[in-house]
Amino acid sequence: MPPIRPALLSGAAPPRYNAAPFPGGPPMRVLGIETSCDETGVAVYDTAGGLLAHRLYSQIALHAEYGGVVPELASRDHVRKLLPLVTEVLTIAGRPGNRPVDAVAYTAGPGLAGALLVGASTARALALAWDVPAVEVHHMEAHLLAPLLEANPPAFPFLALLVSGGHTQIVDVEGVGQYRLMGESIDDAAGEAFDKTAKLMGLPYPGGPVLAKLAERGDARAYAFPRPMTDRPGFDFSFSGLKTAVLLAINAARDAHGVVPADAQAHIAASFQQAVVDTLVIKCRRALEASGRKDLVVAGGVSANVRLRQSLGEMTAALGARAHYPRFEFCSDNGAMIAFAGAQRLVAGERTDLGIRVRARWPMTELKAPA
Ligand code: KG4
Ligand code: ZN
């Protein structure tokens, strides 16, 4: 069993996270619970003091031998890990007693239904026991708002690029819950393209970060992979065809024993990564120009990609715009973003009734602004 990653804010470290979006009103401590996929994330966010504690347990080792997430195993592992993590986080945040927080926020979708149900039912039960309100959080809204936890966050309105394992979207954001979808992938998400390509290349799960690491040693100009749909107007993406281009390159690179030399592997990885990055950058530049927005928020697991950050940085600087990211540990799934997104809605008075609902699919554009 892999060790639980240490709390970022244990010990004497002062909270360095933004609490600015909460002018006035009584301070509220929110417990955030994330169980939508293969990470159990728990955090406490204080609207006056910022993030007080955060813990993450990753199930990577559990799923590695299957080459991908096994939903039923994910659910069972959330059952095992969630309550111990809640206890740890509450201990770090430090307010023992019968009501350690003022509210509970939990991911209600999109994600794996069974995994979501573990978080939703636990969160609802805790809220009932502590007699505090609970609120459902949309996982992608939480990703989108995560960069606002950092210092000098952008003010609304801004443009957002959401790049995760399940979504690739460009969203025009007027405010919390006010989302206009400008473009999205018509097939594979960017993270999914990384994962599937890594699998084709025989790289271990989880493929995306492993492929990105391998790409550091390769020449991104070695292979001319397509930049799909960039020759057409609009902001949509298509990444599924890239897999075929990579497969052809892999087969062509095999030596007499059928082995792909290490150099060629690295060049293919770097060229593939650059093709995805260029495609994302071209569409984001187009969307910034079309919308006139000056801030681009980038979030979701793929926003940890260093090459993507470099290229977006160059593009936004040339346009006189700025790119904003979560810190690396909050790019992929975590409890802090759920506590923070939930807090945004809780301070506005939003509450979820006692029903326990989860949604495997849930378009973000169905969300409404908090009242
Ligand atoms: O946001 P996330 O943790 O989970 C979802 O909501 O899907 O994103 C996970 C995705 C995976 O596809 C993973 O391969 C990808 O993010 N990813 C990366 C990197 N780190 C994570 N892709 C490319 N480069 C990275 N450094
Ligand atoms: Zn996610």
pLDDT tens digits, residue range 109-154? 999 999 999 999 999 999 999 999 999 999 999 999 999 999 889 9
16 pLDDT exceeds 80? Answer: no
* One domain for residues 105 and 89: yes
* DSSP H helix total and E strand total for the chain: 10, 10
Query: Who's near 70: CB < 8 A, 6+ residues apart?
Result: 62, 63
Query: Who's near 256: CB < 8 A, 6+ residues apart?
Result: none
Q: Does residue 242 sit within a domain?
A: yes
Residue 23 pLDDT: 59
Rounded Cα gap, residues 38 and 260, in angstroms: 31
Distance 166 CA to ligand 1 centre (A): 9
Residue 1 pLDDT: 42
* One domain for residues 14 and 56: yes
291 close to 182: Cβ distance less than 8 angstroms: yes
Task: Tell me the CA end-to-end span of the chain in Å, nearest whole number.
Answer: 44
CB 206 near ligand 1, within 6 Å: yes
CB 194 near ligand 1, within 6 Å: yes
Residue 20 pLDDT: 53
Q: Does residue 250 sit within a domain?
A: yes
Residue 136 pLDDT: 98
Distance 330 CA to ligand 1 centre (A): 11
Residue closest by Cα to atom 8 of ligand 1: 301
* One domain for residues 36 and 76: yes
263 close to 215: Cβ distance less than 8 angstroms: no
Q: Does residue 114 sit within a domain?
A: yes
193 pLDDT exceeds 60? Answer: yes
Residue 96 pLDDT: 77
Average pLDDT over residues 316-333: 97
Distance 343 CA to ligand 2 centre (A): 18
* One domain for residues 224 and 297: yes
Q: Does residue 232 sit within a domain?
A: yes
Residue closest by Cα to atom 14 of ligand 1: 208
Distance 302 CA to ligand 1 centre (A): 4
Residue 11 pLDDT: 38
Q: Does residue 169 sit within a domain?
A: yes
Residue 14 pLDDT: 39
Q: What is the pLDDT of residues 267-299, one digit of tens each?
A: 999 999 999 999 999 999 999 999 999 999 999
Distance 169 CA to ligand 1 centre (A): 14
* One domain for residues 49 and 81: yes
Kindly indicate the confidence band of residue 158, based on its pLDDT and cuts at 50, 70 and 90: very high
Q: Which DSSP category does 183 fall into?
A: E
CATH at residue 302: 3.30.420.40
* One domain for residues 222 and 350: no
* One domain for residues 77 and 162: no
Q: What is the pLDDT of residues 169-184, one digit of tens each?
A: 999 999 999 999 999 9
Q: What is the pLDDT of residues 18-74, one digit of tens each?
A: 555 565 678 899 999 999 999 999 999 999 889 999 999 999 999 999 999 999 999
Residue from 107, 164, 197 whose mutation best tests the ligand 1 pocket (most atoms within 8 A of CB)? 164
* One domain for residues 271 and 360: no
| Residue range(s) defining the domain that contains residue 260 | 155-325
Q: Does residue 371 sit within a domain?
A: no
265 pLDDT exceeds 50? Answer: yes
CB 28 near ligand 1, within 6 Å: no
Q: Does residue 288 sit within a domain?
A: yes
CB 109 near ligand 1, within 6 Å: no
Indicate the number of domains in the chain.
Answer: 2
311 pLDDT exceeds 70? Answer: yes
Q: Does residue 293 sit within a domain?
A: yes
pTM confidence score: 0.94
DSSP-based three-state secondary structure for 136? strand
39 close to 72: Cβ distance less than 8 angstroms: no
On average, the pLDDT of the chain sits at 93
For the CA of 192, the nearest atom of ligand 1? 12
Average pLDDT over residues 262-266: 98
CB 300 near ligand 1, within 6 Å: yes
* One domain for residues 122 and 162: no
Residue 205 pLDDT: 87
99 pLDDT exceeds 80? Answer: yes
Residue 21 pLDDT: 56
Kindly indicate the confidence band of residue 357, based on its pLDDT and cuts at 50, 70 and 90: very high
Sign, CA torsion 208/72/109/91: negative
Residue 24 pLDDT: 62
* One domain for residues 69 and 86: yes
* One domain for residues 76 and 24: yes
* One domain for residues 162 and 299: yes
212 close to 194: Cβ distance less than 8 angstroms: yes
Amino acid at 22: F
